[in-house]
Amino acid sequence: MTVSTLRVPDARLHFEVRGRGPLVALVGAPMDADAFAPLADLLAADHTVLTADPRGIRRSVLDDPAQDSTPELRADDLHRLIAHVDAGPAVVFGSSGGAVTALAHAQAHSGQLRGVIAHEPPLVELLDDRDKLHAQTDDMVAAYLGGDVIGAWAAFMAQADIALPEGALEMMFGGERDPQHVADERRWFAHELRGTTRWRPDLGLLRSAPGLVVGVGAESAGQLCDRASRALGNALGLDAVVFPGDHTGFADDPAAFAPVLRAVLARL
């Protein structure tokens, strides 16, 4: 594995490259490169695999820490990373906010791509209840920035239709926590969440993008990102590909996730 940094406008990006073969970029937002490392290790047997920390997250440092993170900015970063790696056209697999990044990249830089796999993008703008959802997001951001961390996460999970066991939020987000995790979490609430969920795709541009695939989790049925992903698929006339697990299946069980992803990559 090669670990390096790339200077881009307003930031220095941390990125990692594994393996050899056709280029695959694994993209998250706000998830960093480490979240994709086990899956990247599996794919690196026969692919060149690019992972990175998104701008402002962990090791990718901004010149201005107060700068908002938008899908367009992150797409430009991805464009520069793919050009820098210089391993031929890429398939981009993006999950959650990273799927929004991947779609924005497909709209702006389709010439770099063999395909795009958008796994559970939170495209709230495609849903009929978007106004209600945007208002909820504003409220949860205000709660978090006002110091109610548990309340903000409870509102997020409720909006996402993700059920957690009793007391899980307190265990996950209460007490002593890693300062870097807290800093990344605060940045996501303050500078990234709204820009990502308010992004509206250009369906005309996406129809002409090469190899577009919409992915959902087998255990995500009825959740917000499942609804948004299926809305995108319906708008583009695409059937969703079902991946193992839920919204974070790629990280929770990469050994089960990788064969399904490989099958999709083989078609692109």
Q: Which tens digits make up the pLDDT trace of 233-249?
A: 999 999 999 999 999 99
Segment 123-157, tens digit of pLDDT:
999 999 999 999 999 999 999 999 999 999 999 99
Distance in angstroms (rounded) separating the CA atoms of residues 111 and 90? 10
Three-state DSSP class for residue 144 = helix
Q: What per-residue string of b and e applies to 2-19 under the rule 16 or more CB within 10 Å gives b?
A: eeeebebeebebbbbbbb
Q: How confident is the model over 161-183, as a mean pLDDT? A: 94
Residue-level pLDDT at 199: 98
Look-up: residue for tokens 């795009």? Answer: 116
User: For residue 146, what are its two tokens?
Assistant: 């006002």
Every domain range in the chain assigned CATH 3.40.50.1820: 2-127+199-267
Residues 6 or more apart whose Cβ sits within 8 Å of residue 267 = 211
| Cα–Cα distance for residue pair 94/102, rounded to 1 Å | 6
Q: 18: which strand partners?
A: 49
- Look up residue 117 and give its two tokens: 């796999």
Report domain 2-127+199-267's class.
alpha beta
Spatial distance between the Cα atoms of 125 and 249, rounded to a whole number of angstroms: 24
- Contact indicator for 222, 3 with CB cutoff of 8 Å: no
CA distance linking residue 37 with residue 133, whole number of Å: 32
Between helix 33-43 and helix 254-267 the angle, nearest 10°, is 70
pTM above threshold 0.95 = yes
